Amino acid sequence: MSTPDDLGHDDLGHDDLGHDDLGHDDLKPDDLKPAEHMDLLRAALAEDHATEDVTTAALVGAGRRASAEMLVKAPGVVCGLPLIAAVFELLDEAVEVQLLAEDGDTVGAGTVIARIDGPAAALLQGERTVLNFVQRLSGVATMAATYAEAMLGGPGIYDTRKTTPGWRALEKYAVRCGGGRNHRMHLADAAMLKENHLVAAYGTRGPDSIARAVRGLIEHSAAGLTLYIEVEDAKELDAAIEAAGEEAGRLVLMLDDFDIAAIRAAVARVRTMAPPRPQLEVTGGVTLERIEGLAATGVGRLSSGALTHSAPALDISLKIRNAS
């Protein structure tokens, strides 16, 4: 694992992030491999008792075939399209899917993103499962795009681990499709020091506990492992930097609920340092309403759990157009 990139400055005065410090920015939107998610797809179909669809069994003959379209009913960024064929093929390998868009595409209302042909029973049995995946992932991608566009070329927007259980890889992929960046994928990816760790380890918080924890992490973690350190004020920021010493380049200092003036002061503090410098990330209260002011501080990173935990599903429908 690499350390965070040094703070360089582009023409806008923002930190040059380069690639994500954990390497996840190297993953492209077309990296979705359905074969890696087959257990989840099977579980979703089983949850819906797809092969026991009493309505379809009663009304739709085994020989009936149908053609359907997937239609986007609101503008957004589509994601999860390779999963469409994977779901239907679990029900009937005779189903054929033609994708008319790619993951990461921005589409308008009324766009047909896929055509599906095959046994009518399979289309009906898999309809809701397919829509659940594509609507959810497209919603996350659209939310990430909304945040990313609001950056206006400024800091990067990062997700968190506030994801749906079992869906983390997919939801973080959706964030990338929308132009966002991935924070650590799991607990083994990087160290992240938060208030609960301080209280659990030392019984107290504050600058002294921060310094003690930073020294402990450097001593006991693998060389080069990224260390995310949550700080709540300038004293804790200074304590973390001073405790890290020559290892400060491994730090991502997470400014928790800092106001604009405090963020600017933190940016100024770090810019006085000789490389390797820590990265600064604003966390907590990162909303669309605050993006412009936060971006103007020169901080290099913003993170928000809203990219995943508050993204509404994109309105998409599946309509059978004809059957015979």
pLDDT 10s per residue in the chain (324 long)? 333 433 333 322 344 323 344 434 444 566 899 999 999 999 999 999 999 999 999 999 989 999 999 999 999 999 999 999 999 999 999 999 999 999 999 999 999 999 999 999 999 999 999 999 999 999 999 999 999 999 877 789 999 999 999 999 999 999 999 999 999 999 999 999 999 999 999 999 999 999 999 999 999 999 989 999 999 999 999 999 999 999 999 999 999 989 999 999 999 999 999 999 999 999 988 999 998 899 899 999 999 999 999 999 999 999 999 999
CB 103 within 8 A of CB 32: yes
CA distance 43 to 90: 11
**Alpha helices (H) along the chain:** 38-47, 54-59, 82-91, 120-150, 168-177, 195-202, 207-220, 234-244, 260-271, 291-295, 306-309
CA distance 92 to 69: 18
Strands 112-119 and 65-72: antiparallel
Strands 316-323 and 65-72: antiparallel
pLDDT attached to residue 11: 29
In the chain, domain spans: 30-145+312-323, 146-309
Q: What share of the chain is helix, strand, coil (3-state, %, to 5)?
A: 45, 20, 40
Q: State whether residue 132 is helix, strand or coil.
A: helix
pLDDT attached to residue 152: 77
| Cis peptide bond upstream of 34, omega within 30 | no
Q: Global pTM?
A: 0.89
CB 234 within 8 A of CB 280: no
Looking from the CA of 165 toward its CB, the CA atoms found within 13 Å total 1
- Report phi then psi at 128, rounded to 5: -65, -40
CA distance 57 to 74: 33
Give the CATH class of 146-309.
Answer: alpha beta
CA distance 187 to 51: 37
Number of residues written out for the chain: 324
CB 78 within 8 A of CB 131: no
pLDDT attached to residue 181: 93
Catalytic annotation, residues: 128, 162, 194, 230, 256
Cα Rg, the chain, nearest whole Å: 23
Element (H, E) at 71: strand 65-72
From the candidate CATH numbers 2.102.10.10, 3.90.1170.20, 3.40.50.300, 1.20.140.10, the one assigned to the domain spanning 30-145+312-323? 3.90.1170.20
Please report, as a single letter, which amino acid is at residue 181: R
> Residue 77 class from Cβ within 10 Å (0-12 exposed, 13-18 middle, 19+ buried)?
buried
